[in-house]
């Protein structure tokens, strides 16, 4: 029996004919996963300030942000279309529009494909074609490599699948300079090494959901001690990479101070999680969500420092 066949009758694929117009609009917006896109834009805009070494053209910033929203929204909609079978069985995703029937699978597929095409043309015509191809590459990587190939096959899914979430850094830089530099690649690597220790604590919290649908997230196939050790390892590499910008001449004292302070606190939280895992704590006593919430604050503060630093050098 497949995941879709095992769902309760009448949940997935409910008729959309009599749904209120406002609720339908809200459902299509939900397909784009706006909260995730907010995080992507937090890494895009500050990089534009660093690339410009000041204030970039505000029209360019708006065009880049809107293009990024459309592209990431298309990727997220296609992700929900592909994963609608397992979403129906997971508590965390059971209210997504394609599961509740607020949006039909065909509508979700068409919506995602339209956003993919429109976003690529938007970037190419209003920003530049390098940014357009980077954006399209991120979308295809997330949908094909992560969602269709890696997610249900390997515990390394979030490690390599996270590359798609690193691309906004390159897009922000290329939007300003029509090129990619070492500074952009360093920040790309910061997000690459940030993604697993950001997501694994959440996966530890909801591992029963992933186990139920056969998705081999690391916390599903490994114990808390192993996951915590990997979190600490990736955290140290992430903080080390974040400190490379200053010696290479891309940032000054302000960014470095923020990177040291926020990175130091991150490492404190990562090691604290490891200590609790070694002590055999489970459930609420593991407090894994502390690191998850801090990870969002960390990346926000670090990239704000990226934007502010050029004005203080």
Could you state, in chain order, the average pLDDT of each consecutive group of 10 residues for the chain (313 residues)?
40 56 92 88 95 96 97 97 95 93 96 98 98 98 97 95 95 97 97 97 94 95 96 98 95 97 98 95 89 96 97 88
What are the structural domain ranges in the chain? 28-174, 181-313
> In the structure encoding, which two tokens stand for residue 35, read together?
């909260």
- pLDDT for the residue 17: 53
Helix (DSSP H) and strand (DSSP E) numbers for the chain: 15, 0
Cβ neighbours of residue 265 closer than 8 Å, sequence gap 6 or more: 294, 298
CATH number of 28-174: 1.10.357.140
> In the structure encoding, which two tokens stand for residue 251, read together?
């940032």
181-313, CATH topology level: 1.20.120
In angstroms, rounded to a whole number, what is the distance separating the alpha carbons of residues 202 and 195? Answer: 11
Q: Are 243 and 256 in contact (CB under 8 A)?
A: yes
Q: Which of 254, 274, 250 is closest to 262 using CA atoms?
A: 254
- pLDDT for the residue 10: 37
- pLDDT for the residue 169: 97
- pLDDT for the residue 281: 83
- pLDDT for the residue 296: 95
Place of tokens 């609790």: 276
Burial of 220 (0-12, 13-18, 19+ CB in 10 A): buried
- pLDDT for the residue 125: 98
In angstroms, rounded to a whole number, what is the distance separating the alpha carbons of residues 311 and 313? Answer: 6
> In the structure encoding, which two tokens stand for residue 305, read together?
């420092």
Q: Which of 135, 118, 32, 119 is closest to 67 using CA atoms?
A: 119
**How many other C-beta atoms can be found within 10 angstroms of the C-beta atom of residue 248?**
10
DSSP label at 223? -
In angstroms, rounded to a whole number, what is the distance separating the alpha carbons of residues 138 and 145? Answer: 10
């Amino acid at each position: 029996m497949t995941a879709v066949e095992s769902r309760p009758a009448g949940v997935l694929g409910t008729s959309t004919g009599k749904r209120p117009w406002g609720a339908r609009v809200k459902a299509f917006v939900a397909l784009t996963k706006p909260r995730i896109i907010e995080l992507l834009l937090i890494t895009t805009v500050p990089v534009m300030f660093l690339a410009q070494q000041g204030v970039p053209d505000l029209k360019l910033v708006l065009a880049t942000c809107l293009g990024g929203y459309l592209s990431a929204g298309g990727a997220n909609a296609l992700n929900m279309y592909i994963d609608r079978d397992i979403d129906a069985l997971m508590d965390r995703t059971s209210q997504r529009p394609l599961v509740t029937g607020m949006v039909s699978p065909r509508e979700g597929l068409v919506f995602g494909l339209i956003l993919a095409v429109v976003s690529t043309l938007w970037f190419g015509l209003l920003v530049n074609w390098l940014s357009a191809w980077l954006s399209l590459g991120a979308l295809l990587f997330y949908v094909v490599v992560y969602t269709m190939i890696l997610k249900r096959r390997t515990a390394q899914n979030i490690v390599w699948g996270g590359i798609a979430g690193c691309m906004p850094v390159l897009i922000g830089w290329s939007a300003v300079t029509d090129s990619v530099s070492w500074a952009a690649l360093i920040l790309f690597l910061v997000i690459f090494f940030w993604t697993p220790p950001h997501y694994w604590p959440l996966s530890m919290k909801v591992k029963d959901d992933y186990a139920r649908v056969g998705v081999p997230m690391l916390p599903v196939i490994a114990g808390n001690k192993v996951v915590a050790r990997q979190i600490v390892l990736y955290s140290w590499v992430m903080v080390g990479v974040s400190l490379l910008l200053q010696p290479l001449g891309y940032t000054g004292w302000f960014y470095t101070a923020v990177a040291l302070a926020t990175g130091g606190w991150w490492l404190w939280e990562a090691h604290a999680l490891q200590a609790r895992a070694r002590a055999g704590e489970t459930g609420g006593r593991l407090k894994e969500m502390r690191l998850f919430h801090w990870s969002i604050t960390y990346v926000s503060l670090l990239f704000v420092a990226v934007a502010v630093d050029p004005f203080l050098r």
